[in-house]
A and B are shown apart, each in its own frame.
Chain A
Amino acid sequence: MRLVTAIVKPFKLDDVKLALETVGVAGLTVSEVQGFGRQKGHTEVYRGAEYQVDFVPKVRIEVLVDDADSFRVTDVIVEAARTGSIGDGKVWVTEVEDVVRVRTGERGTDAL
């Protein structure tokens, strides 16, 4: 099993969710996060005084998938989240040792 983690622009969340549904992903976890990459932060101005805001709001999407699905799911996310401009985010995949469904106690791929 693998965990696909994606950091994307917040306004792309709906597109990514819809795209994942079309490839049969049955569940995902979303959190609002802040950070910076090459995009860096942005500047705000209050009564003429400039403030550098270092962290940009992003959305983190986490999906647990079967090994065989991870490439397809990753590609779908990348395609849905891309705008072509700086700050589009990143997607990475990590190995997952075990998964348990809390309600039934099912383990491994049965729990996905």
Chain B
Amino acid sequence: MVNTGDTAWILTSASVVLLMTPGLALFYGGMVRAKSVLNMMMMSFGALGLISVLWVLYGYSIAFGNDVGYGLLGDPTEYLGLNGLMADVTSEAGGLPSMAFVGFQAVFAIITVALISGAIADRAKFGAWMVFAGVWATIVYFPIAHWVFDFTLADDDGVVTHVGGWVANNLAAVDFAGGTAVHINAGAAGLALALVLGKRRGFGKDLVRPHNLPLVMIGAGLLWFGWFGFNAGSAVAANNTAAVAWVNTLVAAGAASLGWLLVEKLRDGHATSLGGASGVVAGLVAITPSCSAVSPVGAILLGAVAGGLCALAVGLKYRFGYDDSLDVVGVHLVGGLVGTLGVGFVATAAAPAGVDGLFYGGGADQLWRQAVGAFAVLITSFVLTYIIGLVIQTTMGFRVDEEDEMTGIDTAVHAESAYDFTSLGGGGGGAVTGGGGGAPYAGGSRSTAGTANSAARGGSA
């Protein structure tokens, strides 16, 4: 018998989490220049297409199949093509259909891949990105999702029916919705990929400013909205844990936004819109692993720290000279570390996760578990991503050539431009091929220009 309340909430959560990826596309797209906004957004949409297919084919099985050894990997063949998951497996006492959970976790895989794209704005071949996305999801995300999200299950008699991943079960680190598997993972991968691809031409010298900050703010708003599904949905039930996670998600993002703006006001003299939007995201990242483990006041503390720290961390790329273009490292890696390690400090047993951190008399026990989980994911992701990136770079090439990068990756790679800046209509051209209703080649403006030229020549002769 299906528990209709839980099922409705998880399907709703999955749907709003899906909206986070188009939201991320806007958030990232507004931050790049007008000549590369489409490519930036297409990296997110490419992930939406590709990862949803891979997830159904074998991704879910690698992440949530029965463990094949040491908690590192699920059995890729167990649920190949979601085999056997269409049957109603819910018990008499009520439960969640397997497919609801499959869908909810699918959208996590999609956005984790999409997050990485911010590190390589303006310069990656779209084909190379798609190959990277598929390989990275397969080798890095699906296994790490197994480590963190796949819990060992036992039946009523205590007999183990399903063996899960090592971070969740053996280590018992608290990562409620993916501070390690999603954000530290994507952040470390972004750093590795930014190093493999190298800096954009003119990095640190030329004017590279966001072309559309309202898009960034709409994107941040959609991310915040979707994040309620991300965190509160991770309770995998419509229950008290979900409600606690919801409130913590709200207040951590708010506090982080204030923290970021405060740093900007004190350091630069202005509280900026980009800072406000970035602060929201930094807080959401930090509360992701911790939303079940901290009190709402703890969430404010974590959010404020994450907002302030990330505002400082985004400057590191200029000091160390890596072009993490849209600050995947500064926001997701740093924010993910703040949240994941923060559990070790401000977790309270009064919260649903039921563990005490250092500040609540729990000693350092939870803190070291959090640290091991965080750094295991960080190092694994960085090393594997660097290797994948290098292989793609040396075989098919990851970067577009210099001319395409300078003129703009949108026209070079996608044969489109995001905005029609010409007030005379159509950029002064006409349809080249008869796509239906278009003017024929050499009609309209071209032949007119030709006539004008010959007239001018005739006049001067």
Q: B279-328: which residues lie under 8 A (CB-CB) from chain A?
A: 311-312, 314-315, 318, 327
Shortest C-beta distance, B12 to chain A (Å), equals: 33
Interface size of B in residues (CB-CB distance below 8 Å): 19
**SS class, residues of chain A in contact with chain B:** strand
- Taken together as a complex, chains A and B put the C-alpha atoms of A32 and B278 apart, in Å, by 32
Of A48-56, A70-78, A82-90, the one touching chain B: A48-56
B210 is an interface residue with CB less than 8 A from chain A: yes
B233 is an interface residue with CB less than 8 A from chain A: no
Name B331's closest neighbour in chain A (CB-CB): A47
A45 is an interface residue with CB less than 8 A from chain B: yes
Please tell me if the beta carbons of B209 and A51 are within 8 angstroms of each other in the complex: yes
B270 is an interface residue with CB less than 8 A from chain A: yes
Please tell me if the beta carbons of B209 and A47 are within 8 angstroms of each other in the complex: no
Shortest C-beta distance, A47 to chain B (Å), equals: 5
Name A49's closest neighbour in chain B (CB-CB): B318
Q: Hey, which chain A residues are within 8 Å of B270, CB to CB?
A: 45
A46 is an interface residue with CB less than 8 A from chain B: yes
B275 is an interface residue with CB less than 8 A from chain A: yes
A98 is an interface residue with CB less than 8 A from chain B: no
- Taken together as a complex, chains A and B put the C-alpha atoms of A49 and B207 apart, in Å, by 10
B78 is an interface residue with CB less than 8 A from chain A: no
With A51-B207, A53-B207 known as contacts, the answer to whether A45 contacts B272 (CB < 8 A) is yes
- Taken together as a complex, chains A and B put the C-alpha atoms of A50 and B330 apart, in Å, by 17
Please tell me if the beta carbons of B267 and A47 are within 8 angstroms of each other in the complex: no
Name B317's closest neighbour in chain A (CB-CB): A49
Shortest C-beta distance, B214 to chain A (Å), equals: 14
B268 is an interface residue with CB less than 8 A from chain A: yes
Please tell me if the beta carbons of A47 and B327 are within 8 angstroms of each other in the complex: yes
Shortest C-beta distance, A53 to chain B (Å), equals: 7
- Taken together as a complex, chains A and B put the C-alpha atoms of A49 and B272 apart, in Å, by 12
Give the bracket for the number of chain A residues in contact with chain B. 10 to 19
- Taken together as a complex, chains A and B put the C-alpha atoms of A83 and B207 apart, in Å, by 30
- Taken together as a complex, chains A and B put the C-alpha atoms of A75 and B312 apart, in Å, by 51
Q: A4-51: which residues lie under 8 A (CB-CB) from chain B?
A: 44-51
- Taken together as a complex, chains A and B put the C-alpha atoms of A57 and B99 apart, in Å, by 56
B274 is an interface residue with CB less than 8 A from chain A: yes
With A49-B315, A49-B318 known as contacts, the answer to whether A44 contacts B209 (CB < 8 A) is yes
- Taken together as a complex, chains A and B put the C-alpha atoms of A47 and B209 apart, in Å, by 10
- Other CB < 8 Å A-B pairs besides A49-B315, A51-B209, 5 of them? A46-B274, A47-B274, A47-B314, A51-B207, A52-B207
| 26 A–B pairs (Cβ distance < 8 Å), ordered by A | A44-B209, A45-B264, A45-B270, A45-B272, A46-B209, A46-B210, A46-B272, A46-B274, A47-B272, A47-B274, A47-B278, A47-B311, A47-B314, A47-B315, A47-B327, A47-B330, A48-B264, A48-B267, A48-B268, A48-B311, A48-B312, A48-B314, A50-B268, A51-B208, A51-B209, A52-B207
